[in-house]
Structure 1
Amino acid sequence: MSQVVCFFLLLCAAAPGSAAPTGSSYLSGTGRFWHITDLHLDPSYHLAQDPTKVCFSSKGAPATHAGLYGDFLCDSPYSLIQSAFANMAPLTHQEDFIIWTGDSPPHVPPDELSTDLVIQVISNMTQTITQHFPNLTVFPALGNHDYWPQDQMPDSTNDIYKAAAVLWKRWLEPEALTTLSQGGFYSQLVKPGLRLLSLNTILYYGPDEVTINMTDPAGQFEWLEKTLEKSAQNKEKVYVIAHVPVGYLPYAGNTTAIRKSHNERLVAIFRKYSHVVAGQFYGHTHRDSIMVLLDEQGSPVNSLFVSPAVTPIKSFWEQYSNNPGFRMYLYSNKDYSVMDIWQYYLNLTEANEKQRSDWRLEYIMTEAFGLSDLQPKSLLELGLSFMLPQSKAFDKYFSHFMVNYNSSIVCDGSCKVRQECVCGELSLNLHADRMMNIQDGNSVDSRSFNENKLCCFLTKCLFYRFHVTVRFLSITD
């Protein structure tokens, strides 16, 4: 693998570009930014007679549909990443900025990589982004694969944190580079009134054995609260970006994306400063999803967005994957609230057949779901509508979740409940608190229709979590 990577990195800059889709111009009083995530470059990808030898990231599974732009059993060939950026670049404006939420190296066993190779891949992706977007500021976040061995992110300075600070100094200011090199996180003013916080949520990631017994690894919780408090005093709004999201995983029932204790603390901080945080943006899951942060009373206070990946990879046994995607956010220049999403995607099967990358607009979120904006209240109402039997809104949402991977795949039963619960439940503690408030407070008749739906939603999710936990314990015992 190391020889393949080194040889490949010499060739990357010569890859060809491709045509771009049409995009949206600025609207009065708005700004825009772009989100790319989970590039997962696999330098070993090549078209081979033996489908088990196409890419190291398939781990021996036969990539029988491999083409110019990749295969669903492989991580991204460079041609796919180059194609995404080449199609995105003409849509950008000089006032835009980009958030890049991590994971550049491929999904391969640890012995196929090293610290030096991980740094080389991050460097290559940094150079590629710079070539396509020379005039835009990029705000990166580190992913769990942006370290070696993967997931084992330490709570102190190391070669990869320091390398990232060197590679990203073209975009970040000295103060941001200092905390990046020390703990993998930073804060920077985007423009007057808007600050961006890039968190290192890998410090809270379950597989990270280095930080498993730490209550505040790298002092990031303390730093986060101080930074948000200062932003509140300065009347700034804040965008939070990170790789691994808060809340529950949409495909793993009773599992939070980060450790539950750290999840609860992050959620508590975000609730406390929900008047400061104008949006949260994540990657990691490779799928397209929304979440809503509720306060202790069950009122929606924050909108969270998980962007789909550029890599199309899935395991051999997974039922579905995602088509490659990138997106643009539209925000209000008045309060920096997120107003809309333009989601772009590549039909990978079609692109390989035609040997041409025709990136398309998959959806505009407000138009797709009949929303006026993407405020927490609007997103919660959308999430509650998914509870309806045979909900067409949910069917559309799940199709977008897979980035139009396969329209014949149906998500019902426990699959649907998982998706519903992820949208509006970031903390299991909210269920118990909300149920107690309902029992001690108003009657059902005096509550609003949406309050009753929320009560039903929380009850169903609480029952589902309990059922899954009990079932898991009975199997393991």
Structure 2
Amino acid sequence: MYFMFGTKLRVFNIQTVCICKRMNMGLLSCVVPLLLLCGAAPLEAAPAKSSYLPGTGRFWHITDLHLDPTYHLTPDPTKVCFSSKGVPATNPGVFGDFLCDSPFRLIQSAFDHMATLTKPDDFIIWTGDSPPHVPAGELSTDLVVQVIGNMTETIRQHFPNITVYPALGNHDYWPQDQMPTSTNAVYRAAAELWRPWLQNEALLTLSQGGFYSQLVKPGLRVISLNTILYYGPNKVTENMTDPAGQFEWLEKTLQKAAQSLEKVYIIAHVPVGYLPWARNITAVRGKHNERLVSIFRKHSDVIAGHFYGHTHRDSIMVLLDQQGKPVNSLFVSPAVTPIKSLLEPYSNNPAFRMYLYDTEDFSMQDIWQYFLNLTEANERQSAAWRREYVLREAFGLADLKPLSLLKLGLSFMEQSTAFDSYFKHYMVGYDSSFTCGGACKISQVCAMLYLDQLSYSRCVEKGGRSKRRDSSQGPLFKYFSLCRSHEKGLRVSKLSRL
């Protein structure tokens, strides 16, 4: 895929991609082949089978790849990548920069490492967002489709015998966020690109509305939702109660799964619930969030897990029923891209993860989180992906059932080192000097434990009474205070990085 920038990002050949070189005419042309292997680092050995019990299955989660094919090293830090939007890169290296989206070499290194760990009976969930964070004028429908195609082919090359279950992200459309309610070029292209992984029934609903359902194995079904239909910046659907009829379809699909004695994994890009770094802001529109919470509560006995991306950070949520009983565990995986906006005090190191599940009841058993220390990788010019943590071990959990996660979240309300560890993992080890107390901590914990408006607002109110003043006046407090001061007009601006 050759990319050139003048007034618009253009694609000339899908077979090549990535590191772009500055040319005499001031244009950028990508010249490195798609699957070029260069400077690969020694890889961590695959986990020993004794690390988990018999009867345990595994699957992998990748999200928010955000390929930036313009990324290249140059003496001018404002021209390292188009995704920084002219902001000078801070410390660019061969694997990226925290103000830029992913160079191809970063994505390739993640897949290279994953490929050494996977087994034939694993599967992968891929929760969207392949194109970069660049102005809409630099993109087009054709370009977005070709970037998705490029990432699809890259995944297929690395994992030729493993089924992948994708979900569409808000950047997987042009203009970004504006996912429509009927068939279009992107939905049709995605269905064609993902045909090797999906069956005809799934391909049909994917091409019509961007969502689908498919049986993974006897007793286990994946439902891939198009939550961009409920996303605040999506002007196409803002006045609709059930965009594309997805709510109705979801309820019917969950009912059929129950009748067939199946368990369901919900996958999507934008998560349900509240954003953990802001106050009173749901990830999707409030009215659609309430509907999703209602449906998930109603069918919680069928749903064995929820898996999302979009926020670029690592977080956990617990769905409570209307009586306050924990009924579902939800997980948001951190991104491969390390990008942050200039005003954000922290970012994330690149990451992917593996889930362990019980092959009898499909309940979640554990998470093995992998990451790349981006600063270290750039200094060494070698990508040493490592295991960041094992969730049960990190927090002393007996299991990942909703009750265990509820107890963990409630323990965060008190002064403890457990929340400090959680927040460090939230940033994927970006900078351990950052702490999250007072208002910051209230937002994190309330977003973890309360997904509907009523219970969330009660949590925030209670937290505000118990912590009237924040003893920490550091950058996180200042950033959070800025967010609160613009609450009413915040929704679109707070989502702009995503």
Gaps of 5+ in 2: 17-32, 470-480, 491-498
Tell me the matched-pair count: 450
User: Of 451, 456, 469, which aligns to 1:426?
Assistant: 451
User: Of 177, 185, 188, which aligns to 1:162?
Assistant: 188
**1:21 match:** 44
Gaps of 5+ in 1: 436-456
Aligned CA distance change for structure 1 residues 234 and 77 (closer, same or farther; 3 Å): same
Cα distance in 2 for residues equivalent to 1:117 and 1:402: 31
Give the ranges of 4+ consecutive aligned residues of structure 1 lying more than 4 Å apart after TM superposition.
Answer: 2-5, 461-464, 467-476
1:368 aligned onto 2:394: yes
**1:318 match:** 344
Give yes or no for contact 1:4–1:44 (8 Å, CA) kept in 2.
no
Cα distance in 1 for residues equivalent to 2:106 and 2:488: 45
Cα distance in 1 for residues equivalent to 2:330 and 2:226: 17
Cα distance in 1 for residues equivalent to 2:174 and 2:13: 20
User: Of 261, 265, 270, which aligns to 1:239?
Assistant: 265
1:408 aligned onto 2:433: yes
User: Of 376, 400, 403, which aligns to 1:377?
Assistant: 403
User: Of 117, 123, 126, which aligns to 1:97?
Assistant: 123
State the Cα distance separating 1:13 from its structure 2 match: 1.9
Aligned CA distance change for structure 1 residues 262 and 22 (closer, same or farther; 3 Å): same
The TM-score, its normalising length taken from structure 1, stands at: 0.91
State the Cα distance separating 1:458 from its structure 2 match: 6.8
User: Of 109, 119, 128, which aligns to 2:135?
Assistant: 109
**1:147 match:** 173
Report matched runs for 1:173-192 at 5 Å: 173-192=199-218
**1:356 match:** 382
Give yes or no for contact 2:278–2:484 (8 Å, CA) kept in 1.
no
**What amino acid does structure 1 have at the position aligned with 2:87?**
A
State the Cα distance separating 1:30 from its structure 2 match: 0.8
The TM-score, its normalising length taken from structure 2, stands at: 0.87
State the Cα distance separating 1:256 from its structure 2 match: 0.2
* Local SS of the residue matching 1:321: coil
1:460 aligned onto 2:462: yes
Cα distance in 2 for residues equivalent to 1:207 and 1:303: 27
Aligned CA distance change for structure 1 residues 18 and 172 (closer, same or farther; 3 Å): farther
1:316-364 CA deviation, whole Å, 9 max, x = no partner? 1210000000000000011100010000000000000000000000000
Percent sequence identity is 67
Cα distance in 2 for residues equivalent to 1:475 and 1:80: 35
User: Of 375, 395, 399, which aligns to 2:420?
Assistant: 395
* Local SS of the residue matching 1:291: strand
For the aligned residue pairs, the C-alpha RMSD in angstroms reads 2.0
**2:318 match:** 292
State the Cα distance separating 1:27 from its structure 2 match: 2.7
Aligned CA distance change for structure 1 residues 386 and 173 (closer, same or farther; 3 Å): same
**What amino acid does structure 1 have at the position aligned with 2:446?**
C
Aligned CA distance change for structure 1 residues 142 and 473 (closer, same or farther; 3 Å): closer
Give yes or no for contact 2:274–2:283 (8 Å, CA) kept in 1.
yes
Aligned CA distance change for structure 1 residues 100 and 186 (closer, same or farther; 3 Å): same
State the Cα distance separating 1:98 from its structure 2 match: 0.1
**1:452 match:** none
**What amino acid does structure 1 have at the position aligned with 2:165?**
F
Cα distance in 2 for residues equivalent to 1:395 and 1:259: 30
State the Cα distance separating 1:14 from its structure 2 match: 1.9
Cα distance in 1 for residues equivalent to 2:9 and 2:128: 24
State the Cα distance separating 1:22 from its structure 2 match: 2.8
